[in-house]
Structure 1
Amino acid sequence: MDATNAILLPVAFFVAALLYSSVGHAGASAYLAVMALASIEPAVMKPTALTLNILVAAVASYNFRQAGHFSWRLFWPFAVTSIPCAYLGGAMTAPPTAYKYVVGAVLLFAAFRMFAKPTEMHLRDLRPPRALIAFPLGAIIGFLSGLTGVGGGIFLSPLLVMAGWASIRTASGVAALFIFVNSSAGLLGMGNSLSRVPPEILFWQPVALLGGFLGSYWGSRRLPVVALRRLLAVVLIIAGAKMILTGSQSKPVAVSPTRAMISGQTNLFGGTP
């Protein structure tokens, strides 16, 4: 890693954790954006983003719960199906081209989420969904979380708010714990791919943890975040567009069947990665 990235990446991770955690997220989509701009290999990006996600989601969940912004009744129906599906998604490997398209689409969706400002319903009109509705939605979000290396909060929290199932702050608290369990399951599903996490992670973890604690502490106590989300969306749009536009330039990497079996991973489109 060159000197410029060695300096800028920790700073970027701190800022991403600070901003994302203020709305109950852990920053995986921003970590992916930063690593994409730094031209880091996709195989390294996914486990690295999940590792940082777990730390930030843990402190964000703690702060939002301490501030009274959490609902177990709302959390468990989504989590019970998302956890095994996140594990399954984490055990799968998409080819480089497909990976770039999928992650690019996820980043652009996150940008749309950041720009949007959902109208919040009156608290008395909020009702959690029935389990039969939450189960399949949790499974879909969990699988996509494990596959792409994000915790799923960028999908869950806008869904909860726009469907009238939770207030924005309760949605943030639920999303934080949801991200933690899904990121953990996705990382476990990756098996030996954890060896791809760079040694620099030891320097990135403390700064992300600090950013996550500060951001979620302020965010759970009425910190305005609209302007910050819109600014962050610009970064996500740039990185998402870059991933999609460069996806066609990726070339498949030959991997021996023996190495594929040792890695314990499955190619999303059949065969070995």
Structure 2
Amino acid sequence: MDSTAIVWIAVLMALGAALYSSVGHGGASAYLATMALFSVAPETMKPTALALNLLVAGFGAWRYSSKGLCNWKLVLAFALTATPAAFIGGGIHLPAIYYKPLVGILLWLAAARLLWQPRQLAEREPHAPSLAVTLPTGAVLGVLAGLTGTGGGIFLSPLIILFGWEEPRRTSGVVSAFIFANSVAGLAGNVASIGRLPSELPIFITAVAIGAGLGTWLGVSRLPRPWLLRFLGAVLLVAGAKLLFT
């Protein structure tokens, strides 16, 4: 990669980390979108996204947990199946002909979630889901997390909010811890993929660390969140189209 591309990738990754960490996410879909825009090789995209996810989600989990905003029982209810499933998914190598459309579709789904901002649900008392719900859901999200290099949080958080399993602020803590566990398992499931990490990784790590620090400090209430998330959603749409049609 030339220096100009590296700078732009780092800037976009920092922006993605700031936006996603503000709501407890690791930002993998943003990192995948950025790498897709700059035609990074698919075999490099997956481990890089997981490695960056690991840092951002780990920081977010620590930050939310230290403030008492993480429901560890709910994390465990999903992680019991998600973590081993992510380990299995991480060991599966998909050829580019399959990986690119799969990630492209996931990016579009993530974009739809970002572009569609429903009104805040009416206040209600959170209720814990049964293991009959969390165990299969965790397994599906875990496989997707390891297979594609995402943490699964972009899908878990709307489920938690929509079904009233936890209140919004604590949902961010749950999702951060969930993503961290899946990212660890995804990388462990395919240790060989670490050899495909780019030499520019220290630059990208520095960028997302700065973004995560800013995002978790600002928080949702201090950001003009709807418009920023819509902008990010537009980037995901473009990147998804690039993977699907080129």
Structure 1 length normalisation: TM-score?
0.86
- Residue of structure 2 equivalent to 1:206: 206
Q: Distance in 1 between matches of 2:118 and 2:162?
A: 6
Alignment of 1:126-205 (within 5 A): 126-205=126-205
Alignment of 1:10-89 (within 5 A): 10-89=10-89
Q: Distance in 2 between matches of 1:138 and 1:195?
A: 28
Structure 2 length normalisation: TM-score?
0.95
Q: Which residue type is aligned with residue 83 of structure 1? A: T
The Cα shift of 1:223 comes to: 4.2
The Cα shift of 1:14 comes to: 0.9
- Residue of structure 1 equivalent to 2:117: 117
The Cα shift of 1:133 comes to: 0.8
The Cα shift of 1:224 comes to: 4.7
The Cα shift of 1:120 comes to: 4.0
Point out the more displaced range, 102-111 or 61-70. Answer: 61-70
- CA 1:67–1:218: 2 relative to 1, 3 Å: farther
Q: Distance in 2 between matches of 1:17 and 1:43?
A: 21
Instruction: Work out whether residues 54 and 184 of structure 2, in 8 Å CA contact, stay in contact via their aligned partners in 1.
Output: yes
- CA 1:13–1:216: 2 relative to 1, 3 Å: same
Q: Distance in 1 between matches of 2:48 and 2:157?
A: 23
The Cα shift of 1:119 comes to: 4.3
Q: Distance in 2 between matches of 1:6 and 1:73?
A: 40
Instruction: Work out whether residues 169 and 220 of structure 1, in 8 Å CA contact, stay in contact via their aligned partners in 2.
Output: no
* 1:235 and 2:245 correspond: no
* 1:90 and 2:90 correspond: yes
The Cα shift of 1:9 comes to: 1.3
SS in 2 for 1:61: helix
The Cα shift of 1:216 comes to: 1.4
Deviations 1:73-123 (CA, angstroms, capped at 9, x unpaired): 221110110000000000001111110110001100100111222444455
Q: Distance in 1 between matches of 2:22 and 2:9?
A: 20
Instruction: Work out whether residues 124 and 164 of structure 2, in 8 Å CA contact, stay in contact via their aligned partners in 1.
Output: no
Deviations 1:239-263 (CA, angstroms, capped at 9, x unpaired): 01111112xxxxxxxxxxxxxxxxx
Q: Distance in 2 between matches of 1:124 and 1:3?
A: 51
Q: Which residue type is aligned with residue 84 of structure 2? A: P
The Cα shift of 1:220 comes to: 6.2
Q: Which residue type is aligned with residue 127 of structure 1? A: H
Deviations 1:210-250 (CA, angstroms, capped at 9, x unpaired): 2112201221665452221111100000001111112xxxx
- Residue of structure 2 equivalent to 1:259: none
The Cα shift of 1:66 comes to: 2.9
- Equivalenced residues, count: 246
- CA 1:123–1:66: 2 relative to 1, 3 Å: farther
Q: Distance in 2 between matches of 1:225 and 1:124?
A: 23
Q: Distance in 1 between matches of 2:109 and 2:64?
A: 24
Unaligned runs of 5+ in 2: none
The Cα shift of 1:163 comes to: 1.4
The Cα shift of 1:168 comes to: 2.0
Instruction: Work out whether residues 67 and 221 of structure 1, in 8 Å CA contact, stay in contact via their aligned partners in 2.
Output: no
Deviations 1:53-76 (CA, angstroms, capped at 9, x unpaired): 100011111222233322112211
Question: What is the root-mean-square deviation in Å for CA atoms of aligned residues?
Answer: 1.5
- CA 1:68–1:120: 2 relative to 1, 3 Å: farther
Q: Distance in 2 between matches of 1:138 and 1:192?
A: 25
The Cα shift of 1:42 comes to: 0.1
